[in-house]
Amino acid sequence: MKRNSGVLMHVSSLWGNYSEGALGKEAREWIDFLVACGFRYWQVLPFCLPDDCNSPYKSFSAFSINPYFIDLPTLCEQGLLTEAELKAAEQKTPYACEFDRLNEERMELLAVASARVRDRAPIDAFLASHPQTASFCRFMALKASNGGAEWVDWTCNTPDARTLRT
């Protein structure tokens, strides 16, 4: 049996200009670097939505993804974000993950990009074939409609239209 080696590094530790690493060009460059160094594996921490303390180990769902890993330059290339929006999203504090800023701004920016999607058929097909992800989206919409409260304290059982867009 051939021995292999790898590296453990979370996606958020990748370099980039948008407050935290993402699954874009930098991730591909990292993989190419690992291959050039003779490594066979890149072990990552969970990709799911982190909790309020930014830990991926206490997520609301194993069927979610961390929205901060969405590559903003790719959205810009696809016409879903403008150059000005991309520039405004650039990190303010180099060499540090800007968790507070991400929590305040990123979902709103992703909602802007989502509103610009013209062909929603692939999204609808994905949700239809992954009902656990669709359920997670409904849960998070309800959580937002209830001011972020724990589900046992919810008073609203129908998300408002504003919540569904985010």
- State if pTM tops 0.75: yes
d(CA 131, CA 117): 21
- Cβ-contact 47, 63 below 8 angstroms: no
Please report the pLDDT score of residue 26 as a whole number.
Answer: 95
- Site of tokens 């999204």: 123
Backbone angles phi, psi at 6, to 5 degrees: -155, -175
**Average pLDDT for the chain:** 90
Is residue 1 within a helix (H) or strand (E), and if so which, with residue range? none
- Res. 165: pLDDT tops 50: no
d(CA 154, CA 149): 7
Enter the tokens of residue 40. 């066979």
Read off the pLDDT of each residue in 12-37 and give the average, rounded to a whole number: 94
List, for residues 66-85, the tens digit of each pLDDT value.
999 999 999 999 999 999 99
One DSSP character per residue, 29-96 reads HHHHHHHHTT--EEE----SPP-TTS-TTS-S-TT---GGGS-HHHHHHTTSS-HHHHHHTS-SSTTS
